[in-house]
Amino acid sequence: MSSYYNVTNVNYIGESMPGNDLTIDFKRPSDREPNGLRNVQVERSYTPYAEGSVLIKMGNTHVLCNASVLDKVPPFLKGQGKGWVTAEYGMLPRSTHTRTDREAARGKQSGRTQEIQRLIGRSLRAIIDLEKLGERTIHLDCDVIQADGGTRCASITGAWIALADAVSHLLKTGQIPENPLKDRVAAISVGMYKGYPVLDLDYEEDSSCDADMNVVMTGSGQFVEVQGTAEGHAFSRQELDSLLMLAEKGIAGLLRVQQDAWPV
C-alpha cells in the first residue's frame, strides 16, 4: 500500500452482484444487468493540501472528497473532550447537462443540498469514535464535478476514504494515540425501473423510475440510513425487501473498493 501522500488508483469494473436470480429479458439504458454496478474508480491524494483527498468516479458521476482537520469543535461540544465530523456538499455549475448557478451566487443553499450534506455527516459519524478523535473537527467537502445520478451515494463512499486518510495523518503525526474509526461505510442507490429492481441508478433511470431508494450501510452489515420514495407507483413489501437485498450486495462491492484503496 502506498504511503499517505502517494496517489493510489483503484479501478473496479462493474459486474453483476452474485446471489440474485435476475435472468430476465430486460434491458437497462446502460446495458448493465439489473444487479450490475457501474465501473468505479478511486484516486487517493487527488489534491496536495487536504489531510485526506479522494476523487471517486462511479460511471459518469465524479465527486471530489476532501477532508480537512480543524483544531476546533462546534460550540455545543466545547470542553467535552470529543471531536466532530461534518460535511458540506455542492455541485459545480456545469456538472449537469445545463448550467446551474452556484448556490453562493444565490445567497442560500437549497433544501436538497442541506439534506445531502447532513446525510453525509450522519453516515460518517456512525462509524467513528468521537472521543478518540479529541477536541478537533474533520470537515469533509464533497464537490460534484460531473453528475449522472447517485451523487450523494458516491460522496459517502468516497468521503469515508478521505476520512480514513485524515485519520491516518493524525495518527502518523502523533496528534491522536489510537484509531477512532470503528468501521467502513458506503452507500448505493436502488430502484424499481420498468417494474424490475435495479442497482446503482444513473440519471436516466433515476428520473423515470417507479421508486428509488438510497441505502447507507457499514462494513459489518448494519444500516445507517434508508431513504425510499415512490415516484407515481407505490411499492410492495416484497419489492422493498428485494431492493434492500440488492443494495446489500451492491454495497459489498463498494466495500471491496474501499478495502483495495485503504486496507485497514
Taking only the tens place, the pLDDT of each residue in 171-213 is 999 999 999 999 999 999 999 999 999 999 999 999 989 999 9
**Predicted local distance difference test score (pLDDT) of residue 213:** 96
On whether residue 2 sits in a domain, the answer given is no
Give me the mean pLDDT over the 212-228 stretch. Answer: 97
Q: How do 137-146 and 84-91 pair as beta strands?
A: parallel
On whether residue 88 sits in a domain, the answer given is yes
For the whole model, what pTM was predicted? Answer: 0.91
Q: What CATH number has the domain bearing residue 167? A: 3.30.230.70
**Predicted local distance difference test score (pLDDT) of residue 263:** 74
Give me the mean pLDDT over the 31-58 stretch. Answer: 96
Which residue range is the domain that position 100 belongs to?
9-14+24-261
Under 8 Å CB-to-CB from 142, ≥6 apart: which residues?
A: 63, 64, 65, 87, 88, 89, 90, 117, 120, 155, 158, 159
Give me the mean pLDDT over the 223-230 stretch. Answer: 96
**Predicted local distance difference test score (pLDDT) of residue 53:** 98
Is 118 annotated in a binding site? The answer is no
On whether residue 4 sits in a domain, the answer given is no
Q: Specify the higher pLDDT residue, 66 or 14.
A: 66
Is 152 annotated in a binding site? The answer is yes
Is 112 annotated in a binding site? The answer is yes
User: What is the count of structural domains for the chain?
Assistant: 1
Average pLDDT, the chain: 90
Is 256 annotated in a binding site? The answer is no
